[in-house]
Amino acid sequence: MKAGFFVTGTDTDVGKTWTTIALMRWFQIQGLSVVGMKPVAAGCEWQDGILKNSDALLMQQYASFPLEYEQINPYAFAAAMSPHLACGNVEVSEEVIVDAFTRLQALADVVIVEGAGGWYSPLSDVLDNAGLVQVLHLPVILVVGVRLGCINHARLTMSAIRQANLSCAGWVAVHIDQAMPGFDGNLAFLRKVIDAPLLGVLPFLAVADFDLLATKLNLPNWQKLDVYQKK
């Protein structure tokens, strides 16, 4: 059985990549082969003659088997700005991304795709994360960075996902603001108002420990979640 998910967030820097790697580790612990994909990335640096993104490099490192960097990140741009500006004159093609995803899906049991920025963040002049999910036909996992303002951002993002008639497999809360007062109360409120399963609460960590973070996820009977599956 083949499965896939699209990881989006309430904003940029809310813990999407840590969540993606933690999910990869969780599925690997279940005995499944897993790869991650970052279709479009900005703020990349030159390494070994090509532009590489730090998030995509983590996905390459934690993949279940060796992959070429370009298989994980088809579009890499140097400028540390929104991809629709960083891409310059480069056309970000849906077909190229879908083809790369399909090739990865043929290799692994689970493919986890991480978007760039928030739900409506543009990947080019004509494509945003919401549109990319439509063409990939993937269920969404929403990452909520728990900080001041996150309730509004989470509810708006979930509403947009539902209005687009897209599937949501669940959401993950990430404790990104160590000093935030009322964390537990905000989490409890989010659990009431988000109409999707809470898949885990990732604690604040100064340094990533993905094996630890994987233990904070809970996806019982994940095959029965609202997920895309291809037999």
Rounded-to-integer distance, Cα 79 and Cα 29, Å: 36
Q: List, in order, residues 6 or more apart from 12 with CB less than 8 Å away.
A: 116, 117, 118, 121
The answer to whether 88 is a known ligand-binding residue is no
The answer to whether 36 is a known ligand-binding residue is no
Distance of CA 113 to the CA centre of its chain: 5
The answer to whether 137 is a known ligand-binding residue is no
Q: List, in order, residues 6 or more apart from 208 with CB less than 8 Å away.
A: 18, 21
Q: 151-180 b/e with 16+ CB inside 10 Å = b?
A: bebbbebbeebeeeebbbbbbbbbbbeeee
CB 141 within 8 A of CB 135: no
The answer to whether 174 is a known ligand-binding residue is yes
What letter does residue 203 receive in the DSSP assignment?
A: P
The answer to whether 204 is a known ligand-binding residue is yes
Q: 24-37 b/e with 16+ CB inside 10 Å = b?
A: bbbbbeeebebbbb
The answer to whether 22 is a known ligand-binding residue is no
User: Is 38 an active-site residue?
Assistant: yes
Greatest CA separation for the chain: 49
The answer to whether 94 is a known ligand-binding residue is no
- Among candidate residues 38, 52, 192, 231, the one labeled active-site is 38
Q: Which residues are annotated as a binding site?
A: 17, 55, 114-117, 174-175, 203-205
**Residues of each annotated binding site for ATP:** 55, 114-117, 174-175, 203-205
- Catalytic residue numbers, as ranges: 38
Binding site per annotation, positions for Mg(2+): 17, 55, 114
